[in-house]
Amino acid sequence: MTEATRRERLRAETERDIRRQARALLVARGRDAVTLRAIARELGITAPALYRYYDSREDLLRRLADDICTDLAAELNADLRQIGEDDISAQVYSVCRGFRRWALAHPQEFALVFASTEDTLGSCGPDGERGHVGDQFGRVFLEVAGRLIASHPLPTGIGADVPENLHADLAEFQQILLATVNDRGVAVDEQGLPLGAVYHMTQSWVRIYGHVALEVFGRFPFAVSNPEPMYDSMLAQILGELGFPPQP
Amino acid sequence: MTEATRRERLRAETERDIRRQARALLVARGRDAVTLRAIARELGITAPALYRYYDSREDLLRRLADDICTDLAAELNADLRQIGEDDISAQVYSVCRGFRRWALAHPQEFALVFASTEDTLGSCGPDGERGHVGDQFGRVFLEVAGRLIASHPLPTGIGADVPENLHADLAEFQQILLATVNDRGVAVDEQGLPLGAVYHMTQSWVRIYGHVALEVFGRFPFAVSNPEPMYDSMLAQILGELGFPPQP
DNA sequence: ACTGTCGGTGAACGCCGTTTACGAAGTTGA
DNA sequence: TCAACTTCGTAAACGGCGTTCACCGACAGT
């Protein structure tokens, strides 16, 4: 089973330890507190040793961001498993609420992964591709959203007047979505996932991300004493536009 | 006229120079490059001298954020002056497009002001109040949005089913809005700015901020080759929901 | 047993924020 | 005018930082 040599196992273990400590520092005292020396101190080694595992502090932060995406995806998937396989609307609620809950509980991680300029932190995910939400997390989100749309006859006029200039981009995204959903064993084609719906999904991500980021960064235009109903009402409206009845 | 002593003038001048250099560093090489020593070096003085003007680096960054808000507001106002006083719809387009243009042209500044966790950078604006979008900028935005709504009979059902729990918060925000708009000499009361419209305005800010932040941080779920029409189409929809005809 | 790689060390370089003691001007008031 | 005081700068120092480099012991493969 374990094809790894002793050396490789040890290496992988320290590698995990390093990121675990790095993450603890990020959570506790923010991005700037994630210093190589602090990590090393915590691990009982010296700072230069870390260069055997990471090219630089920036490299470490990049991989840390990957870890965070993976864990977020795992958390959302765990929530999903508690929901009936067929109640897709509830699954969407679960993922969206889970995303907000996670972001508010882990603002530093959220800022690192979802609010870093591209030059201070490359794209998240092992592939260097551009324009992805952190891969693992993105998959969960896209899959459930894609299944939602494909599962239901869409209201007429959904995503009406999608801008001409976006057809090409949306068509590409449509293919990614189809692949993602089909990977999960649900058969869908372009008919079940029309461009208008893909466009609507994009707009929904704008709203979900916008609300969560505004809340995390405290940039709502007034003091919202309890933002949760506002978020839920937004989700209800998004699902309502797709023809799903409201649901707590 | 100038009630300032010679000393005060000199002091204010250096203070501006400091922030000007700080800002240049922020733009050129990012937040982490805004170091006291680099600023001092650029100004031909030593780092401790900066403590005569600012309590700490963090304090400087806070005030820098204020400056940025002020400049952004000035830029948006300059654009506004080129538009007919009465074409409020065009004014809204101008402010919203200006915000996006500015954010894309100044990603580092955007990140500092609009995507900093509250503990790493206090609220923007001279008053320590919570829950404001950077004050100067916020004023421009709120004023034009408030005037837009008040200028027009609203479609029935706008902001239908605003969550009960938000009535109190929205009413408070409504008062702020009324004050802001009336300050500008436009007489409006609660009738012209109903809670549903205030709620719609909040949702619109979520979408506008969401789109801009996603674009700046490159976190759209797919590679959008030309995001501008997407943004414009979103604006058209927002205004359409308020009963305004589309307008390039 | 020999050889090479791997994962660690300690010293060093040049940054950084911040504090401290000190001095040289400018300002003020008798 | 001259003394006292305030303001704004300095140099030195402390501890912390990322990163590089030379070095070295332990392990792996032949």
Q: pLDDT > 90: what percent of chain A? A: 74
Residues 6 or more apart from A46 whose CB is under 8 A from it? A40
**Residue A128 pLDDT level (bands cut at 50, 70, 90):** very low
| Distance between CA atoms of residues B5 and B1, nearest Å | 11
At residue B98, what is the residue type? G
Q: Are the beta carbons of A81 and A74 closer than 8 angstroms?
A: no
Q: How far is CA B118 from CA A108, A217, B63, B124, in A?
A: 11, 6, 14, 10
pLDDT of residue A152: 86
Contact B224 A166 (CB under 8 A): yes
Q: Which residues of B touch A165 (CB under 8 A)?
A: 226, 229
pLDDT of residue B77: 97
The full set of domains in chain B, from first to last, is: 1-54 (1.10.10), 65-241 (1.10.357.10)
Q: Considering chain B, what is the average pLDDT of its residues?
A: 90
DSSP states along B175-238: HHHHHHHHHTT----GGGS-HHHHHHHHHHHHHHHHHHHHHHHT-SSS--S-HHHHHHHHHHHH
**Residue A127 pLDDT level (bands cut at 50, 70, 90):** very low
| Distance between CA atoms of residues A195 and B193, nearest Å | 36
What's the count of helices (H) and strands (E) in chain A, helices before strands? 9, 0
Residues 6 or more apart from B73 whose CB is under 8 A from it? B136, B137, B139, B140
- Over range A5-27, report the average pLDDT: 93
- Condensed to tens digits (0 to 9), the pLDDT of residues A234-247 reads 999 999 999 998 77
- Condensed to tens digits (0 to 9), the pLDDT of residues B130-185 reads 445 558 899 999 999 999 999 988 888 887 789 999 999 999 999 999 999 998 88
Q: How far is CA A240 from CA A95, A247, B25, B155, in A?
A: 17, 10, 47, 19
Q: How far is CA B134 from CA A104, A115, A221, B125, in A?
A: 21, 18, 9, 6
In eight-state DSSP terms, residue A144 is H
- Least Cα distance to A145 among A171, A180, A103 occurs for A180
Tally of CB atoms within 10 A around A94: 18
**Residue A125 pLDDT level (bands cut at 50, 70, 90):** very low
| Residues of chain A numbered 38-57 and touching chain B (CB < 8 Å) | none
Tokens of B217: 């941080």
| Residues of chain B numbered 89-128 and touching chain A (CB < 8 Å) | 107-108, 111, 114-120, 123
Tokens of A222: 């007034």
- Indicate the residue of A32, A166, A223 with minimum beta-carbon distance to B130: A223
- Condensed to tens digits (0 to 9), the pLDDT of residues B121-130 reads 755 544 444 4
- Condensed to tens digits (0 to 9), the pLDDT of residues A129-173 reads 444 555 889 999 999 999 999 998 888 888 778 999 999 999 999
What's the count of helices (H) and strands (E) in chain B, helices before strands? 9, 0
Residues 6 or more apart from B31 whose CB is under 8 A from it? B61, B108, B111, B112
pLDDT digit of tens for each residue in chain B (248 aa)?
A: 455 677 788 999 999 999 999 999 999 999 999 999 999 999 999 999 999 999 999 999 999 999 999 999 999 999 999 998 889 999 999 999 999 999 999 999 999 999 999 777 755 544 444 445 558 899 999 999 999 999 988 888 887 789 999 999 999 999 999 999 998 888 888 989 999 999 999 999 999 999 999 999 999 999 999 999 999 999 999 999 999 987 76
- Indicate the residue of B116, B163, B224 with minimum beta-carbon distance to A217: B116
Quick check: A122 pLDDT over 80? no
Tokens of B137: 């900028």
- Map residue B243 onto helix, strand or coil: coil
| Distance between CA atoms of residues A132 and A138, nearest Å | 7
